[in-house]
Structure 1
Amino acid sequence: MRRPREKSKREPTIALINIVFLMLVFFMVAGTLAQPLDRDLKLIRTADLEGRAPPDALVIAQDGTLSYRGTQILSADAFLRRQEHLAQPDIRLIPDRDLPAQDLVRITRALRGGGAGRVLIITERGLE
């Protein structure tokens, strides 16, 4: 009598190929497929324009001082007292680029703890 031949234990490569194919299809569908910009298009350069804060934004200087509409504010609580007519105001912050992150977090926490609804940080956005 002949002994039955043992089956070789191979990895199921078909299943792996199916998974990779499904992932490929998923990322093709879920990914953003945007048209590239026309190569002849020249975007407007704003590097030479003077930056101005929106009128309803709280500006934080590099040294941590606060100002609102050109007036210096002593603290986040003093700013919130000016906003008492709003239930939970959304606060827009414009921090200086060189402001230490610890100061930004401290001021943001003070605003949230004082009753601000949302604290939105306005930043510069570049397209290059």
Structure 2
Amino acid sequence: MIRKRAKSQREPTIALINIVFLMLIFFLVTGTLARPLDKGLTLVRTSELEGAAPPDALVIHADGRMSWRGSDISEAGAVLSTLPETDRAVIRLVPDRDLPASRLVEIGRTLRAAGAGKVVVVTERGLE
């Protein structure tokens, strides 16, 4: 009686290595297809740019004072009474960095209760 030798189970590691290698080549090739920028091109720098609040925004200072279109106001809801119905859809708030968050939320709720459709907080975006 001749005994058959049991075949050892081979793992398909070669196939897996081939697939990974092909994916690596694919990403290397597709990453270089985008045209590079011209070498003489210099992009705009905005780090020195002086920021200003949008003209139709409620500015809230760190001490809680509010101003609308350059004049001080005492109550956030008073802003909505001066606006036509179409301009009440979006109200922009420009808070000072040192304004407490609870005060900002309170003003936002006051504006929503007074009839503002959407209250948007304008912030500075730092790309450093």
TM range (shorter): 0.5 to 0.7
Normalising to structure 1: TM-score of the pair?
Answer: 0.62
- 5 Å-filtered alignment, 1:73-84, equals 73-83=73-83
State how many pairs are aligned.
Answer: 94
Q: Residue type of the partner of 1:90?
A: V
Rate the CA distance shift 1:43–1:96 in 2: closer, same or farther, 3 A.
Answer: farther
Distance in 1 separating the partners of 2:105 and 2:89: 18
Rate the CA distance shift 1:126–1:96 in 2: closer, same or farther, 3 A.
Answer: same
> Secondary structure at the residue paired with 2:72?
strand
> Cα RMSD over matched residues?
2.6
- Cross-structure match for 2:94: 94
- Cross-structure match for 1:54: 54
Q: Residue type of the partner of 1:65?
A: R
- Structure number, greater radius of gyration: 2
Give the gaps of 5 or more residues in structure 1: 1-34
- 5 Å-filtered alignment, 1:109-128, equals 109-128=109-128
- Indicate the percent of aligned positions where both proteins have the same amino acid: 55
Normalising to structure 2: TM-score of the pair?
Answer: 0.62
What CA deviation, in whole Å up to 9, does each residue of 1:77-120 have, x standing for no partner?
Answer: 2111111x215431011111111101100000000011000001
The Cα of 1:49 is off from its aligned counterpart by: 2.5
Give the gaps of 5 or more residues in structure 2: 1-33
The Cα of 1:74 is off from its aligned counterpart by: 1.1
Question: Which range is displaced more, 41-50 or 60-69?
Answer: 41-50
